[in-house]
Structure 1
Amino acid sequence: MLKKIDPLLNADVLYALRAMGHGDELVLCDANFPADAIARRTVLGKVLRIDGAGTKEAARAILSVMALDTAVDTPARRMEVVGEPDNVLPVQQEVQQEINRAEGRECLLGSIERFAFYDVARTAYCVIATGERRFYGCFVFRKGVLAPEA
């Protein structure tokens, strides 16, 4: 165990989060997402797992150590509901709240059509799969920078 590090962040996830650079993207996905197949085509090349949590809890843990990119309008994006792109499901609303809390501001959550989401995911740095069983618990987070300490 480490002080002040969420225990959901295992060694493999911490390694990936630390190795990512500004602008790199990670996919946080639910249990139904084809995580292994997609992850094989990412920069990291393998799926990472946080099986004991849903996307809300995993997002909270990840965003406790990773800043989102402030240089783009939507540093966090969700997978759209097929045929209902404006429908923001409860799991997506929960992750939106975690994003706002972590960033200390209202942060626009963008959206991506389902098949376009898969294309974006294949170019991500990594895929982190959760145990989330609710549909559409899939997100892309773009890593930001930390300002120098004064």
Structure 2
Amino acid sequence: MLRNIPALLSPELLYALRAMGHGDDIVIADANFPAHRNGRQVIRLDGVSATDVLAAVLQLMPLDTFVSEPALTMQVVGDGAAVPEVVGEFQRIVNEVADHPARLGSLERFAFYQQAREAFVIVQTGEQRLYGNIILKKGVIKP
């Protein structure tokens, strides 16, 4: 056990977060996301919500300040302007926990899948709410 590290972050996820460099992406995905088809590295956190994982990750990882949208969600198919409850909760968590709060951007479903394929890691959660997917771009920790 370690102090000040959220217990839901597994050793594999802690390793991935530490190994990521500036500009690398991490996907936090819901239970329906095709993670193994779209990811080079998949870490499973079954039984844990995407919102809990987001809050834990943002306690350790800075968001990128060199891009306008360091956090991206998946748009609702057929209604790109809709904001699912889980996405509203993602925004609240980013506002409250991130060292550099940012407005969430969004991508069409297949564009989201394409960006996920390039991610450093996909974390597949047990999130049951539809559209509970978010991509985070890692920032720089300044001296």
Query: Fold-level match, TM-score > 0.5?
Result: yes
Name which of 131, 135, 139 aligns with 1:140.
135
Counterparts of residues 68-79 of structure 1 (less than 5 Å)? 68-79=63-74
The equivalent residue for 2:28 is 28
Q: Quick one: distance in 1 between partners of 2:117 and 2:59?
A: 25
Counterparts of residues 16-55 of structure 1 (less than 5 Å)? 16-39=16-39, 45-55=40-50
Shift of 1:86: 1.0
Q: Quick one: distance in 2 between partners of 1:119 and 1:68?
A: 20
Instruction: Please list every run of at least 4 consecutive aligned residues from structure 1 whose deviation after the TM superposition is greater than 2 angstroms.
Output: 103-106
Shift of 1:104: 5.0
The equivalent residue for 1:12 is 12
TM-score by length of 1: 0.92
Q: Quick one: distance in 1 between partners of 2:47 and 2:54?
A: 13
Unpaired runs of 5+ in structure 2?
none
The equivalent residue for 2:125 is 130
Q: Quick one: distance in 1 between partners of 2:31 and 2:44?
A: 10
Name which of 62, 65, 73 aligns with 1:67.
62
Q: Tell me how large the CA RMSD over aligned residues is.
A: 1.1
Unpaired runs of 5+ in structure 1?
40-44
TM-score by length of 2: 0.96
Q: Provide the identity percentage.
A: 47
